[in-house]
Chain A
Amino acid sequence: AIQLTQSPSSLSASVGDRVTITCRASQGISSALAWYQQKPGKAPKLLIYDASSLESGVPSRFSGSGSGTDFTLTISSLQPEDFATYYCQQFNNYPQTFGQGTKVEIK
Chain B
Amino acid sequence: EVQLVESGGGLVKPGGSLRLSCAASGFTFSSYSMNWVRQAPGKGLEWVSSISSSSSYIYYADSVKGRFTISRDNAKNSLYLQMNSLRAEDTAVYYCARDPNGYAFDIWGQGTMVTVSS
**Partner of A98 from B46, B50, B101 at Cβ < 8 Å:** B46
Q: Is the interface of B mostly helix, strand, loop or mixed?
A: loop
Assess the B44–A34 pair: CB atoms within 8 A: no
Of the listed stretches A17-25, A70-78, A86-94, chain B binds A86-94
CB of A94 within 8 A of CB of B59, answer yes
Quick check: B45 and A34 within 8 Å, CB to CB? no
Contact B103 A87 (CB under 8 A): no
Cβ contacts A95-107/B at 8 Å (1 or 0 each): 1111111000000
Residues of A within 8 A of B95 (CB): 43-44
What is the CB-to-nearest-CB distance from A67 to chain B, in angstroms, rounded to a whole number? 13
Q: How far is the CA of A97 from the CA of B111 in the complex (A)?
A: 19
- Choose from A43, A45, A89, A101 the contact partner of B47 (Cβ within 8 Å): A89
Q: Verify if A62 is at the interface (C-beta below 8 Å from B).
A: no
Query: Once bound together, how far apart are the Cα atoms of A45 and B109, in whole Å?
Result: 10
The interface size of chain B toward A, counting residues with CB under 8 Å, comes to 21
B111 touches A43 (CB 8 A): yes
Report yes or no: B104 in contact with A98, Cβ–Cβ below 8 A: no
How many residues on chain A are close to B (CB under 8 Å)? Answer: 23
Complex Cα distance A87/B45, Å? Answer: 8
Which residues of B sit under 8 angstroms from A46, Cβ to Cβ? 104-106
Residues of A within 8 A of B47 (CB): 89, 95-98
Q: Is the CB of B50 within 8 A of A49?
A: no
B110 within 8 A of A: yes
Task: Name B residues whose Cβ lies closer than 8 Å to a Cβ of A.
Answer: 35, 37, 44-47, 50, 59, 61-62, 95, 101-106, 108-111
Question: Would you mind naming 14 contact pairs between A and B with Cβ atoms under 8 Å apart?
Answer: A32-B103, A34-B103, A34-B105, A38-B45, A43-B109, A43-B111, A44-B37, A44-B95, A44-B105, A91-B103, A96-B35, A96-B47, A100-B44, A101-B45
